[in-house]
Structure 1
Amino acid sequence: METRVVGSYRFILDFSQPIYEQLVQQFRQMLAKGEIELGSKLPSVRDFAVQMKINPSTVVRAYQELERDGLCEKRRGQGTFITSSADQVAGLRREMAENALESFVEVLKILGVTQEEAQKMIAGVEWK
């Protein structure tokens, strides 16, 4: 694992996994947490690749994936920008939370924890 920084973005890379997938996932997390300003301009593909020390085609693929998800858009002659839609980001956040909950519940089921036990456990967790 290695940490790399591009502007105000910090990425943790695991070189045993596809890098573009990690970039997409980490951009999604930053958006969901509100760490990226809506409508902000992303670094150019070339600048991003140079600063991350990765192949530009990897950045292109990550940006394309984010664009497919409706989380960014290309503007001809201007670059790539994060969506300005708060609703789009709220939907992303909700989707990520639901996926995390589903995974959590599956693990609890495997462990034999009942819904009532899980609810008590959750109620006892301190949220910081």
Structure 2
Amino acid sequence: MWYHIDPASGTPIYRQLVEQVRQAVASGVLRAGDRLPSVRDLAVELAVNPNTVAKAYQELEREGVIETPRGRGTFVADRDPAVPEAERLRQFAEAADRLAADAYRLRIDSEQALAIFRERLAAAERRRSGE
């Protein structure tokens, strides 16, 4: 499973879903053409309101990450989303802020955090290249 919702998080559930789909696509866990669960199925599985999942899917569709051909389901888009560089950097900076806060809370020093990040980034690059 590529998603995990933390109801105790300060981040809204729909935002958690959006970020997790983006991350799964970026890391190659989800690939172009992969089918996502229906709004109803995912809402039942996560025990959340279907409107929450629908809101996340709508945002991802606006960004070009997913596509929803009428009556066929929801799929990872076949094309790379045309997200402007400034927006990509903003999204990455937000994710970095959350990771930095987690590192501080868990008492992980910057050298350890950077080593873990480099390791994870290399693994994601290997997955994307199909190794």
Q: TM-score range by the shorter chain?
A: 0.5 to 0.7
Indicate the SS of the match to 2:4: strand
For residue 48 of structure 2, the aligned residue among 54, 60, 63 is: 54
Q: Which runs of 5+ in 2 are unaligned?
A: 101-109, 120-131
Letter in 2 for 1:77: G
Match of 1:74 in 2: 68
Indicate the SS of the match to 2:68: strand
**Structure 1 residues 47 and 99: alpha-carbon distance in aligned structure 2, compared to 1, 3 A threshold:** closer
Aligned length: 101
List per-residue Cα deviations over 1:20-62 (Å, max 9, x = no partner): 0111011111111111121111111110000011000000000
Q: TM-score, normalised by structure 1?
A: 0.63
Q: Higher relative contact order at CA 8 Å, sep ≥6: structure 1 or structure 2?
A: 2
RMSD of the alignment, in Å?
Answer: 3.2
Match of 1:22 in 2: 16
Bigger proportion of residues as helix: 2
**8 Å contact from structure 1 (residues 19, 58) kept in 2:** yes
Q: How far 1:12 moved relative to its partner?
A: 3.8
Q: Which structure is larger by alpha-carbon Rg, 1 or 2?
A: 1
Q: How far 1:17 moved relative to its partner?
A: 2.5
Q: Distance in 1 between matches of 2:17 and 2:91?
A: 21
List per-residue Cα deviations over 1:95-124 (Å, max 9, x = no partner): 2598439x68xx9xxxxxxxxxxxxx99xx
Identity %: 41
Letter in 1 for 2:6: L
Q: Distance in 1 between matches of 2:90 and 2:12?
A: 23
Match of 1:9 in 2: 2
**8 Å contact from structure 1 (residues 71, 89) kept in 2:** no
**Structure 1 residues 49 and 64: alpha-carbon distance in aligned structure 2, compared to 1, 3 A threshold:** same
